[in-house]
């Protein structure tokens, strides 16, 4: 399993770097939107939508939301959908505290999960396309590097959580939702992300006075990424599936790779903006 995960990661990394560095803002937004829609295809199944016509209709709605928000991303009001995403994740924390909510496969719960899917993905898409293209922001030409920096924070947290959890993990974080996650894993995630935040901030020429703030933002970003991971685990538990899909050997589906990222993006981009970075 670990070997499969490493091979898949090595294949995907150059493709993602090419997407980030070799595409202009509109192409990046379009291709990333298509990737996110692949993840939402898996989400519709986990939400309880049965039949391809209904699932395709759901994807069309999500695609229309992307299209409608693209002009907003290029204005001074870009922060509104991103802030909506951040507020949604605070609601998700309350949902995690009541994991039985929505567990029954009823039409009402399916609709709630489809709406939740929109709040999970659409604001995250807005956040990353604004950061990548520096849309409606001072254009420094470093947008792609900030995207890579953000991804490194989340991936370092994932590695830290896995390593610390495997070595020292004893205290379950949320046994009713994801029995494999431990508090020790969270500590490992925070340590690794803090180091990446410090080193990456320096490499991006963040002033010494602001480095503590960028490290704090990295830690907050990771906490939200953990919420995203747990929320997808909850939805999968409701659906009775282990992975969102099978597209990536050793990694599961597209949404399994997105869950932490989409939760962390709104807080990171808003924090970056408020810190004038």
CA distance 85 to 124: 7
What is the tens place of the pLDDT at every residue in 44-74? 999 999 899 999 999 999 999 999 999 999 9
User: Residue written as tokens 């924390």?
Assistant: 93
pTM value is 0.93
CA distance 184 to 91: 25
What is the tens place of the pLDDT at every residue in 174-214? 999 998 899 999 999 999 999 999 999 999 998 999 999 99
The whole-chain average pLDDT of the chain stands at 91
User: What's the pLDDT score for residue 8?
Assistant: 65
User: What's the pLDDT score for residue 3?
Assistant: 59
User: What's the pLDDT score for residue 221?
Assistant: 97
Which residues partner with 124 through β-bridges?
A: none
Using 50, 70 and 90 to split pLDDT, how confident is the model at 250?
low
CA distance 241 to 232: 11
CA distance 242 to 86: 27
Q: Is pLDDT above 80 for 245?
A: no
- Output the DSSP codes for 172-221: EEETTTEEEEEHHHHHHHHHHHHHHHHHHHHHTT--GGGHHHHHHHHHHH
User: What's the pLDDT score for residue 2?
Assistant: 47
User: What's the pLDDT score for residue 7?
Assistant: 67
Strands (E) located in 4-96: none
Give the closest residue to 48 by CA, choosing from 128, 106, 94, 120: 106
What is the tens place of the pLDDT at every residue in 118-163? 999 999 999 999 999 987 776 777 899 999 999 999 999 999 998 9
Q: Is pLDDT above 70 for 4?
A: no
User: What's the pLDDT score for residue 164?
Assistant: 94
Using 50, 70 and 90 to split pLDDT, how confident is the model at 6?
low
What is the tens place of the pLDDT at every residue in 106-125? 999 999 999 999 999 999 99
Q: Is pLDDT above 60 for 21?
A: yes
């Amino acid at each position: 399993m670990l070997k499969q995960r490493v091979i898949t990661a090595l294949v995907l990394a150059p493709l993602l770097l090419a997407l980030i560095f070799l595409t202009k803002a509109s192409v990046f937004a379009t291709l990333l939107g298509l990737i996110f829609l692949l993840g939402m295809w898996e989400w519709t199944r986990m939400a309880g939508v049965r039949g391809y016509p209904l699932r395709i209709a759901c994807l069309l709605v999500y695609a229309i939301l992307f299209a409608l928000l693209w002009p907003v991303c290029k204005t001074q009001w870009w922060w509104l959908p991103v802030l909506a995403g951040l507020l949604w994740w605070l609601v998700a924390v309350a949902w995690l505290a009541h994991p039985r909510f929505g567990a029954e496969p009823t039409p009402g719960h399916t609709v709630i999960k489809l709406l939740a899917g929109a709040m999970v993905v659409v604001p995250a898409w807005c956040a990353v396309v604004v950061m990548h293209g520096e849309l409606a922001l001072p254009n420094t030409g470093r947008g792609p590097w900030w995207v890579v920096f953000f991804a490194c924070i989340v991936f370092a947290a994932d590695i830290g959580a896995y390593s610390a959890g495997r070595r020292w993990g004893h205290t379950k974080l949320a046994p009713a939702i994801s029995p494999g996650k431990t508090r020790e894993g969270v500590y490992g995630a925070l340590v690794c992300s803090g180091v990446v935040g410090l080193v990456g901030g320096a490499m991006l020429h963040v002033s010494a006075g602001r480095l503590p703030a960028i490290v704090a933002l990295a830690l907050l970003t990771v906490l939200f990424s953990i919420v995203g991971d747990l929320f997808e685990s909850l939805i999968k538990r409701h659906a009775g599936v282990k992975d969102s899909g099978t597209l990536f050997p050793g990694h599961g589906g597209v949404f399994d790779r997105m869950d932490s990222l989409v939760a962390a993006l709104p807080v990171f981009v808003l924090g970056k903006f408020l810190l004038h970075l």
